[in-house]
Amino acid sequence: MAGAERGGGGPAEQEPVVSLVDVLEEDEELENEACAVLGGSDSEKCSYSQGSVKRQALYACSTCTPEGEEPAGICLACSYECHGSHKLFELYTKRNFRCDCGNSKFKNLECKLLPEKGKLNSGNKYNDNFFGLYCICKRPYPDPEDEIPDEMIQCVVCEDWFHGRHLGAIPPESGDFQEMVCQACMKHCSFLWAYAAQLAVPTVTKIITAEDDGVLNVDGTDDQKVIKAENGANHHESIPEESVLEKGKDVREENKVEQVDEPSTSSGSESDLQTVSMNEHQNTESHSGCRLQELRTKKYVKQDTATYWPHNWRNKLCTCSDCMKMYADLEVLFLTDEYDTVLAYENKGKSDQGTDRRDPLMDTLNSMNRVQQVELICEYNDLKTELKDYLRRFADEGTVVKREDIQQFFEEFQSRKRRRLDGMQYYCS
């Protein structure tokens, strides 16, 4: 129990007392977090034989494929077995990726776990992350030259990582969002703006009523443009923008066309806001039951910003035949897959770890008397201190801890323990 004693010259603070149960629970929490990050990836078998894995823990080897070479990714098992002493970039997880270890991108290395591999994995997608660079600023993480504290957030579409301050919209302070779509991907997937009006966190768009012909007032924005498309169009047709109201003045723009199911471009500067309205009397004969078509009958704002989305927002995307074709054309069919999310990936790691799991240390502790528990706590503290110091060397050198290293540590630890016990003297009274 933590507290303070008074006596003598003043208060004397006591260090908080932590029980072994508390320590074990803390370690279990850390272990759960580690398992979530690895997502159930196999640490002993190369994943190549599984083909393009929906999601797995991935790494890039700067030693074998430095910047200037072709980018390549390796699975968890290969990071241990084939690249244990190399400099690695942790990529967290990427979708639909096949392990590259030992293929033609690695000029002087053969995979120890699965030597027989194809020359290339044509289905893999790569970005600057594979060279340890992230965000639009193309900087490493952590960045020794960046003194601004800022978290990195992964875009669910392109899977690059971004500084919160480089997304055009400050992440919600509450952190009450599940996924983020970056600025570039919102332009590529412009259909998402119709959903953002209803789902985004915080609401980055505001719905305009049918009677509202004035300029849309968006909080914190001085320069605004409201674009009204008076001709109906479905989401596989271009939308003519016939009039622009800017600060109360009617500004005519001719031949301004935006393709909704293609990456869109802004009608003005990058910071301009756009409001799109679809005619209520559109021909919906071929789009019966399309949720996106229904949303597009309303006005919504398009901004040059990232968007933040709540849990299960993907379940609300339309899956009619036209929308599914649009997703395929845009190469974002994965948005309709509930198992594609990072949350599902992390839950799989926790689930795999928790299957038929019993903690033998907790069982042993419960069977001990008080004296034995104290002795075990002392042994545990010694082990924890020495293991922490041992692992710090690997962290300082940036090398991966291999199974042999852990085995060596415990052998040396047991040897030191035996020497301590042999040097103890026992007395009988």
pLDDT above 90 covers what percent of the chain?
Answer: 46
Q: How far apart are CA 66 and CA 57, in angstroms?
A: 20
pLDDT recorded at residue 13: 54
Q: Which residue has the higher pLDDT, 66 or 36?
A: 66
Interval 109-142: pLDDT, tens: 999 999 999 999 999 999 999 999 999 999 999 9
User: Can you tell me the distance from the alpha carbon of 183 to that of 171, in angstroms, rounded to the nearest whole number?
Assistant: 13
In a domain, 372, yes or no: yes
Measured between alpha carbons, how far is 168 from 145 in angstroms, rounded to an integer?
22
CA torsion, points 401, 403, 405, 406, in degrees to nearest 10? 100
Among candidate residues 89, 6, 94, 35, the one with its CA nearest the CA of residue 346: 35
Helix (H, G, I), strand (E, B) or coil at 243: strand
In a domain, 81, yes or no: yes
Domain end position, chosen among 134, 163, 185: 134
Q: How far apart are CA 414 and CA 191, in angstroms?
A: 62
**Is the pLDDT reported for residue 388 higher than 60?**
yes
3-class DSSP state for residue 147?
A: coil
Highest mean pLDDT among 148-152, 159-163, 396-400: 159-163
At 282-308, the pLDDT tens digits run: 444 445 689 999 999 998 889 999 999
Identify the top-confidence range among 7-11, 96-100, 205-209. Answer: 96-100
* Residue 278 covered by a domain: no
Q: What is the DSSP letter of 425?
A: -
Q: At what angle do helices 20-38 and 342-354 cross, to 10 degrees?
A: 130
- Count of domains forming the chain: 2
Q: How confident is the model at residue 280 (pLDDT cuts 50, 70, 90)?
A: very low
Residue 375 inside a domain? The answer is yes
Question: Does 192 fall in a domain?
Answer: no
- 154 pLDDT above the threshold of 80: yes
Q: Which domain holds residue 110?
A: 25-134
Residue 39 covered by a domain: yes
For helices 370-397 and 20-38, what crossing angle results, to 10°? 40
- Domain boundary residue, one of 134, 159, 183: 134
Beta bridge partners of 250: 245
Considering the domain boundaries, does residue 374 fall inside one?
A: yes
In whole angstroms, how far apart are CA 210 and each of 76, 213, 275, 284, 297?
55, 8, 13, 19, 10
Percent of the chain having pLDDT more than 70? Answer: 68
Cβ–Cβ < 8 Å for 307, 196: yes
d(Cα 194, Cα 205) in Å, to the nearest integer?
9
What is the separation, in whole angstroms, between the first and last Cα of the chain? 36
Residue 392 — pLDDT band, cuts 50, 70, 90?
Answer: confident
Is 125 part of a structural domain of the chain?
yes
Count the Cβ atoms, other than its own, within 10 Å of residue 167.
21
Which of 50-64, 300-314, 361-375 has the lowest average pLDDT? Answer: 361-375
Question: What's the predicted TM-score (pTM) here?
Answer: 0.64
Among the three residues 134, 168, 185, which one is the final residue of a domain in this structure?
134
pLDDT tier at 360 (50, 70, 90 boundaries)?
low
Find the radius of gyration of the CA atoms of the chain: 29
Which tens digits make up the pLDDT trace of 206-225?
Answer: 333 334 433 333 443 433 33
